[in-house]
Amino acid sequence: MKYQKTEVKLDNSLSFWKHFDKEERVLFYNPLNNELIIGAKRLKTFGQEENYNNYLYVFSSRTFFDSVKDQKWAEFGNETVAFEYYLVEKKGKQTLYYFEDLVEIENLKIKSNEHFYNISADDYEEWKELFANVYYEISSRKVNKVVISREVKIVCETLVNTESVLKNLLEKNQNSFIFAYFKNGKTFLGATPEILVQKEKDNIISYALAGTILRNDEDDELQKMMLLNDRKNRYEHQIVIDKIADVMKQYIRDVIIDEIKILTLKNLHHLQTRIYGKDNSTLSEWVTRLHPTPALGGNPAYKALEIIKKYEKHERGLYAAPIGIMDENGDGIFVAGIRSALICKNMVFAYTGGGIVDKSECEAEYIETNNKLKTIIESL
């Protein structure tokens, strides 16, 4: 499918996002290659087996669990879509791609709005109950890790200005993937550090990301050392490495596991390990094979998912779910939709979670989820 293209010069690419205010839109910023892609106006929806390789880009999302009941997630996820217009910003160059009709994008002022809000984070009792239930299952050795999460409701005094939130997310989270999906008046967005799987020709790359410590301005190097040497975090991380490597080894003879590194974000450090090999399956097939890793579900996955379903009171929807973008060759990347929120008018449903193992402590894990929540709070 041939798109036509033209160079544009906008002070901020978010003018393109704002231009298509009423239309379905998607935004994806990849910090690995500094590429920002924004798509607007649905052109085509792809069936499961349909070939989308001739489209410039396709956006694909799945819900965390196969199905969702909660109305606020209605019509989100489990589809692959091509858009009529794309704006691609790379190395300071902006290119507008259009399928049929060229549009003029006005150069708008994108401002950071400060939202005044009320946050109902008085859910520690609920967390304690969730933690106790999950801890019991871990103690009885049915599972060795479960990732549990909170839904935190934030009520803003005005409608949420998503351009402003996106501007802040982009400016403040340089090592994260910034994503947004606007559909039917609601926006799911976030700044995630977690890559589920990436494909470049026959190179399949996944990352284990689990294990967390707060940054400390005074002695950040010490924090990194502490995280690298912390037994609970190493154990939690190793479960993720082992599972990803096991899945990959079913399809790939030579799976390479790099050494464990530190990924530094605005407020936190994480343990991160790259795991990769060569294979010719599609990226969507790899997403199905790997989702959810024990960084988002638990181990063994089927048991952990049963536990999450049983004890978490909210529905995850797109939280921690695969969200990705693929190019015309089928190459691309899927990230996990964490450090995220669903925005409906003046309401922000923010999601935050953490991995629980037998050495986890209830209060410390709760505080960790508050630290992870800062990504969304600081964008408001």
Ligand X SMILES: C=C(O[C@H]1C=CC=C(C(=O)O)[C@@H]1O)C(=O)O
Q: In whole angstroms, how close is the CB of 46 to ligand X at the nearest point?
A: 29
Q: In whole angstroms, how close is the CB of 331 to ligand X at the nearest point?
A: 24
Q: In whole angstroms, how close is the CB of 207 to ligand X at the nearest point?
A: 10
Q: How many beta carbons lie within 10 A of that of residue 246, not counting itself?
A: 10
Respond yes or no: is residue 285 known to be catalytic.
no
C-beta of 25 vs 237, nearer to ligand X: 237
Respond yes or no: is residue 114 known to be catalytic.
no
Q: Is the dihedral of CA 364, 236, 199, 63 positive or negative?
A: negative
Which residues are at the interface with ligand X (CB under 6 A)?
Answer: 147, 149, 194, 209-212, 270, 295-296, 320, 338-339, 352-355, 372
Can you give the length of the chain in residues? Answer: 380
C-beta of 30 vs 352, nearer to ligand X: 352
* CA 259/CA 195 separation, integer angstroms: 17
* CA 240/CA 235 separation, integer angstroms: 9
On whether the CB atoms of residues 148 and 312 are closer than 8 A, the answer is yes
C-beta of 54 vs 216, nearer to ligand X: 216
* List 145, 186, 199, 372, catalytic entry: 145
Those residues with Cβ within 8 angstroms of residue 125's Cβ, 6 or more apart along the chain or in another chain: none
* CA 239/CA 301 separation, integer angstroms: 11
C-beta of 19 vs 372, nearer to ligand X: 372
* CA 13/CA 116 separation, integer angstroms: 26
Q: In whole angstroms, how close is the CB of 339 to ligand X at the nearest point?
A: 5
* List 194, 236, 312, 315, catalytic entry: 194
On whether the CB atoms of residues 309 and 67 are closer than 8 A, the answer is no
C-beta of 12 vs 293, nearer to ligand X: 293
Q: What is the DSSP letter of 230?
A: -
Q: What is the DSSP letter of 236?
A: H
Q: What distance lies between CA 254 and its chain's CA centroid? A: 28
Q: In whole angstroms, how close is the CB of 263 to ligand X at the nearest point?
A: 9
Catalytic residue positions, numbered: 145, 194
